[in-house]
Chains A and B, each alone.
Chain A
Amino acid sequence: MQIAGSKELFEQVFDRDLCSVCGACVGICPYFKVHDGKVAKIFDCDLEQGRCHAQCPKTGVDFEKLSNNYFSQSYSESPLGTYQRIVAAKAGGTLTGKQFQNGGTVTALLVAALEKNVIEGAVLTGADGLLPVPKIAKSTQEILACVSTKYSAAHTASLVNEAARDKQQNLGVVGTACQLTGIANMRSNPLQKDGFVDPINLVIGLFCTWSLDARKFRDYIAGRLDPATITGMDVPPPPAEVFVVKTSTGNVEFPLAEIRELIPGGCAVCPDMTAKWSDISVGALEGKSNWNTLIIRSERGEKLVNEAVAAGYLELDDFPAESLEHLRLGAGNKQERAIEKQKQEEACQS
């Protein structure tokens, strides 16, 4: 990738509606800001090279460089990325009684990392009503306040940028592929700035097939139910074709076809379902609703999982062979669709 400036970032990403609001260009400078779920360019910046362009996951990522940097090995074309092993996991006895989206694995890993002093805090995605709001959690209590999936696109990477600017260290981060690709780019110090300090010590990836444009989703919901009553959301496995909004007065189902209209353009060109640029990736496990899929990618990830199991934060089980096939197929399909879409985009450009 040729690193360029904010002008090119605008032409290559925003003008083509490819932004997925990951926040990789925000929190660096005064020119890009997120407001109300959307990234805005405030004033023109005339630098020829900027971190906004270098860190964006949609300006063309140098996967080989990133893989060497991150895993000290060549890039794996596999849709599941580089990994050590895949297991089933859920929160262990230490966290019994808490409410999670699925098995509570992410929370368990974060609490373990915090307790074991692997991290001093974690960049997570909380919510203000339907609007996702990134925040740094520094206690178990704060981590538990951020549980469950936010379907709206979140600018979580912006908070990591701010942490780097403020020279913070030993932070964990939980994010989806676009956010983590941006963060991985940032951690490679793309402009080779003096005095750069990597703020991140642990990356936990979340499986993601798409997110929702926060403003469009809010407008969609606004006419249909009281947003204040929402307690959670879920997309049940096929062939349900519904989007479930859990409210204090019961579940409300919306046709998935309508919800798909609210997906930002950037999701269609994202090839990465399982968040390859992480130490550990976590997703649902089809057929076992209280369990998660756990992809352990790095040595650091392996070490944390082992410590979490030993301390009773996490429980593991063998990963069913047919589930692995499903996972490969799902991730492979997303990758193929994205590459096809990328080719179309390039054809349109030329």
Chain B
Amino acid sequence: MSIIIEPKSDERHLVMGNEAIARGALEAGVAVVAGYPGTPSSEIVESLASVSKERNLYVEWSTNEKVAMEVAAAGSFANLRSLCVLKQNGVNVASDFFLHLAGSGTRGGMVILPCEDPGALSSVNEGDSRHFSRMLEIPLLEPGDFQEAKDMTKWGFELSETLKCPVLVRSVTRLSHASGTVTFGDLPTTEQQATFKHDGFVLDPETGPVISAPVNYKHGLQQQKVQQAMEMFEASPFNTYSGPDNPELIIITSSACNLYSREAIKQLGLRDRVGILKLGTTWPLPPRLLEKHLRSTNKVLIVEEVIPFLEESVKILGMELAEEIGIKKFFGKRDGSIPSTGELNPDIIIAALCNILEIDYVGIPAEYEEKAVTHLFLGAPAREGTFCAGCPHRASFWNISLALKMDNNEGFVCGDIGCYTMAVRSAGFSTLKTLHAMGSGTGVASGFGKLGQFGMDQPVFSVCGDSTFYHAVMPALVNAVHHKSDITLVVLDNSGTAMTGFQPHPGTETDVRGEEAVQMDIESICKSIGATVFTADPFDFKTTQETLHNLMKMKGGVKVLVLRQICALSPEKKGTRWFDMSVTESKCLGESCGCNRLCTRVFSCPGLVWDPVKKVSKIDDVICIGCGVCSDVCPVGAIDKKELT
């Protein structure tokens, strides 16, 4: 049995932050769950899907975030509690619908739950969705520990149902992906009935149509809800203060920074001098609570990650209250006390506190730091992020790179987000030259492909993964076909949402609950849109490169090449070996003119290793998955493959 459906007890469970969030949703009686996979959010939907039968949930991985929010919203409109889970910056994708949803209001409690990645540990940006709460005027909750991750998720549904508007509950990597102890509450036992009432009075939030018009009225109503939320937040148990009555300095913080701040104060022994106001309700801020604490001190340090969102809200209140509480000295991002990019940690807060309070403290002795740096930079071999052994993307980019370079007309590839993002670097032979949001490669390519009238005749390629194809490439492809943009889209089809853990997508046979789904076919979709479509196996260098050259010769219009080869780590393929690989040392040219380590220096599959003593390449049998591709990379046929039955 999944831990997230353990019955209520006094026992404390060690769970991942994402599991705590899932448990919170279950305790709230969530019925509809939709999301799009992505770091660091994926485990929420997956763990809920794993109990969907026991708890009678509808759970889906939607085609993209906007659709996910729409699917979840339908649940709310039908009086069910619904959850929309988004990866970091997924709110951006859904934001168009989100704006309308904030205006129309909701019925059953609806929580929008983005998990974000300050420091971009596994992302290409550190987008911060907190601004959406201010921009769209909806309440924002930020859990500060694992218990709160469960409790605040649960409360988010109640709040949403009270206010009749969606509620944002925001997590971050260090909460979602770390584990902590959580005490579980009751799981509801009532059956839920879905009905969408729509025939009532047009302004009736319970029975009328769900629309954001008349805008003036609905917008005003929405702002009343914000006021109501503010009142409720004044007494929220998720806003806590610990410290002396009149601290020398007060830290105002939220989310994972709460834990860092507590550790910093403990480390410096400042419990008698510094207080922490931990806020769980970060928009709108409860003014009377803030007034009370701002009055108690003259120095305020706001600790949060990335943009100064909380800092600005606190400063606005500080200004509004200045006549009553006096002028405060604020520290945070604007004065440089706290960096505005990257993750925070206790050391950064310790440094800020020492600076502000003029404390002489050496966290890490200079001698130790020097030793650590020496070991880090001299002891460890230099490594760049790369594709796994046997990854089809390495072969695909080898083909694309060779074809474009041989064509020698300054052709380039526009890319987007997926494992294949790594092709901006040596892992993919630096083939990607633009890199933006999911689906953007093809949209950008569509634009490049129309610049012929200004004399541009460079070949234009875009790449996308199979999941991304459905997510956001299709509209861009339609645009390119409609406008006769001269581009080639290469779909890197590795048969699953590989990067985030093989979640199903519209091209797979089953859905997240393991039930049979209608499987889409990329080739048929592209053909019906009007593109010229080819399919090849990226492991077949000759056919793939010939096809790419032929596509470049076909001037005008959209060409699609589906490069299909299943991910080496996929559950179906993992652990299977097609070939036994070996290097004939006498044939290997090694570093000499004629090869110069093409396989280990350029192709660089982790399954190939350079033997610096013998000066030849060798196969690392532990890492090699026996895909056989490198035997076609070697210019002199020194890498042998023996088929395994």
Chain A residues at the B interface, C-beta cutoff of 8 Å: 28-31, 33, 35-36, 38-43, 45-47, 49-51, 165, 191, 193
Assembly CA distance A83 to B522 (angstroms)? 67
Rounded to whole Å, the gap between the CB of A9 and the closest CB of chain B is 12
Whether the Cβ atoms of A42 and B596 lie closer than 8 Å is no
Rounded to whole Å, the gap between the CB of B423 and the closest CB of chain A is 14
Verify if B429 is at the interface (C-beta below 8 Å from A): yes
User: With contacts A42-B402, A43-B429, A43-B602 known, is A29 near B595, CB below 8 A?
Assistant: yes
Whether the Cβ atoms of B406 and A33 lie closer than 8 Å is yes
User: With contacts A43-B429, A43-B602 known, is A28 near B406, CB below 8 A?
Assistant: no
Verify if B528 is at the interface (C-beta below 8 Å from A): no
Assembly CA distance A31 to B148 (angstroms)? 58
Whether the Cβ atoms of B596 and A45 lie closer than 8 Å is yes
User: With contacts A29-B593, A49-B593, A50-B593 known, is A36 near B407, CB below 8 A?
Assistant: yes
User: With contacts A43-B429, A49-B593 known, is A38 near B408, CB below 8 A?
Assistant: yes
User: With contacts A30-B598, A30-B635 known, is A40 near B408, CB below 8 A?
Assistant: yes
Q: 21 A-B Cβ contacts within 8 A?
A: A29-B594, A29-B596, A30-B635, A31-B598, A35-B406, A35-B407, A35-B549, A36-B406, A39-B408, A40-B407, A42-B401, A42-B402, A43-B401, A43-B405, A43-B429, A43-B602, A47-B591, A49-B593, A50-B593, A165-B594, A191-B593
| Nearest 10 pairs of A and B residues by beta carbon | A35-B406, A40-B408, A30-B635, A50-B593, A43-B602, A40-B406, A42-B405, A30-B598, A45-B596, A29-B594
Residues of B within 8 A of A35 (CB): 406-408, 549
Q: Which residue of the partner chain A has the closest CB to B553?
A: A36
Rounded to whole Å, the gap between the CB of B552 and the closest CB of chain A is 10
Rounded to whole Å, the gap between the CB of A308 and the closest CB of chain B is 37
Q: Majority SS of interface residues in chain A?
A: loop
Q: Which residue of the partner chain B has the closest CB to A44?
A: B602
Q: Known pairs A40-B408, A42-B402; list 12 more (Cβ under 8 Å).
A: A28-B593, A30-B595, A30-B635, A31-B596, A41-B405, A43-B401, A43-B405, A46-B596, A51-B594, A165-B594, A191-B593, A193-B592
Assembly CA distance A190 to B406 (angstroms)? 27
Residues of B within 8 A of A31 (CB): 596, 598
Whether the Cβ atoms of A47 and B593 lie closer than 8 Å is yes
- Contact residue among A29, A40, A46, A50 (Cβ-Cβ distance under 8 Å from B405): A40
Rounded to whole Å, the gap between the CB of A323 and the closest CB of chain B is 41
Using an 8 Å CB-CB cutoff, how does the interface string of B540-567 with A read, 1 for contact, 0 for none? Answer: 0000000001000000000000000000
Residues of B within 8 A of A39 (CB): 408
Residues of A within 8 A of B592 (CB): 193
Rounded to whole Å, the gap between the CB of B295 and the closest CB of chain A is 64
In B588-619, the 8 Å CB interface with A consists of 591-596, 598, 602
Rounded to whole Å, the gap between the CB of B594 and the closest CB of chain A is 5
Name, among A39, A45, A165, the residue most crowded by chain B CB atoms within 10 Å (CB to CB): A45
Assembly CA distance A46 to B602 (angstroms)? 11
Name, among B401, B591, B593, B598, the residue most crowded by chain A CB atoms within 10 Å (CB to CB): B593
Rounded to whole Å, the gap between the CB of B549 and the closest CB of chain A is 8
Rounded to whole Å, the gap between the CB of A152 and the closest CB of chain B is 16
Q: Which residue of the partner chain B has the closest CB to A40?
A: B408
Residues of B within 8 A of A30 (CB): 595, 598, 635
Rounded to whole Å, the gap between the CB of B5 and the closest CB of chain A is 54
Residues of B within 8 A of A49 (CB): 593
Assembly CA distance A191 to B405 (angstroms)? 27
Using an 8 Å CB-CB cutoff, how does the interface string of B381-407 with A read, 1 for contact, 0 for none? Answer: 000000000000000000001100111
Assembly CA distance A35 to B459 (angstroms)? 15
Q: Which residue of the partner chain B has the closest CB to A50?
A: B593
Assembly CA distance A35 to B591 (angstroms)? 25
Q: Which residue of the partner chain B has the closest CB to A194?
A: B592
Residues of B within 8 A of A47 (CB): 591, 593, 596
User: With contacts A35-B406, A40-B405, A43-B602 known, is A51 near B593, CB below 8 A?
Assistant: yes
Name, among B407, B591, B594, B635, the residue most crowded by chain A CB atoms within 10 Å (CB to CB): B594
Assembly CA distance A49 to B602 (angstroms)? 18
Assembly CA distance A191 to B549 (angstroms)? 35
Q: Which residue of the partner chain A has the closest CB to B408?
A: A40
Rounded to whole Å, the gap between the CB of A23 and the closest CB of chain B is 14
Rounded to whole Å, the gap between the CB of B384 and the closest CB of chain A is 15
Assembly CA distance A245 to B219 (angstroms)? 77
Name, among A30, A47, A191, the residue most crowded by chain B CB atoms within 10 Å (CB to CB): A30
Residues of A within 8 A of B405 (CB): 40-43
Residues of A within 8 A of B635 (CB): 29-30
Residues of B within 8 A of A193 (CB): 592-593
Assembly CA distance A341 to B401 (angstroms)? 35
In B86-137, the 8 Å CB interface with A consists of none
Assembly CA distance A50 to B549 (angstroms)? 29
Assembly CA distance A19 to B635 (angstroms)? 24
Residues of A within 8 A of B408 (CB): 35, 38-40
Rounded to whole Å, the gap between the CB of A31 and the closest CB of chain B is 8
Residues of A within 8 A of B594 (CB): 28-29, 51, 165
Residues of B within 8 A of A43 (CB): 401, 405, 429, 598, 602
Q: Which residue of the partner chain A has the closest CB to B633?
A: A30
Residues of B within 8 A of A165 (CB): 594
Residues of A within 8 A of B596 (CB): 29, 31, 45-47
Residues of B within 8 A of A29 (CB): 593-596, 635
Assembly CA distance A51 to B594 (angstroms)? 8
Rounded to whole Å, the gap between the CB of A56 and the closest CB of chain B is 13
Assembly CA distance A191 to B21 (angstroms)? 67
Rounded to whole Å, the gap between the CB of B641 and the closest CB of chain A is 18
Q: Which residue of the partner chain B has the closest CB to A33?
A: B406
Residues of B within 8 A of A50 (CB): 593
In B480-529, the 8 Å CB interface with A consists of none
Residues of B within 8 A of A38 (CB): 408
Assembly CA distance A45 to B592 (angstroms)? 11
Rounded to whole Å, the gap between the CB of B601 and the closest CB of chain A is 8
Rounded to whole Å, the gap between the CB of B348 and the closest CB of chain A is 39
Using an 8 Å CB-CB cutoff, how does the interface string of B140-169 with A read, 1 for contact, 0 for none? Answer: 000000000000000000000000000000
Q: Which residue of the partner chain B has the closest CB to A43?
A: B602
Whether the Cβ atoms of B593 and A42 lie closer than 8 Å is no
In B47-106, the 8 Å CB interface with A consists of none
Assembly CA distance A29 to B602 (angstroms)? 13
Rounded to whole Å, the gap between the CB of B591 and the closest CB of chain A is 8
Assembly CA distance A33 to B406 (angstroms)? 7
Rounded to whole Å, the gap between the CB of A215 and the closest CB of chain B is 9
Assembly CA distance A50 to B595 (angstroms)? 10
Q: Which residue of the partner chain B has the closest CB to A165?
A: B594
Residues of B within 8 A of A41 (CB): 405
Assembly CA distance A47 to B408 (angstroms)? 22
Assembly CA distance A191 to B594 (angstroms)? 11
Rounded to whole Å, the gap between the CB of B201 and the closest CB of chain A is 70
Residues of B within 8 A of A51 (CB): 593-594
Assembly CA distance A35 to B550 (angstroms)? 13
Assembly CA distance A30 to B405 (angstroms)? 12
Rounded to whole Å, the gap between the CB of A133 and the closest CB of chain B is 15
Rounded to whole Å, the gap between the CB of A79 and the closest CB of chain B is 34
Q: Which residue of the partner chain B has the closest CB to A54?
A: B593
Rounded to whole Å, the gap between the CB of A52 and the closest CB of chain B is 8
Residues of A within 8 A of B591 (CB): 47
Rounded to whole Å, the gap between the CB of B547 and the closest CB of chain A is 15
Assembly CA distance A38 to B407 (angstroms)? 8
Assembly CA distance A320 to B206 (angstroms)? 109
Assembly CA distance A15 to B602 (angstroms)? 23
Assembly CA distance A6 to B336 (angstroms)? 48
Rounded to whole Å, the gap between the CB of A194 and the closest CB of chain B is 10
Assembly CA distance A45 to B594 (angstroms)? 10
Whether the Cβ atoms of B406 and A42 lie closer than 8 Å is yes
Q: Which residue of the partner chain A has the closest CB to B603?
A: A43
Assembly CA distance A347 to B596 (angstroms)? 34
Assembly CA distance A183 to B407 (angstroms)? 25
Residues of A within 8 A of B401 (CB): 42-43
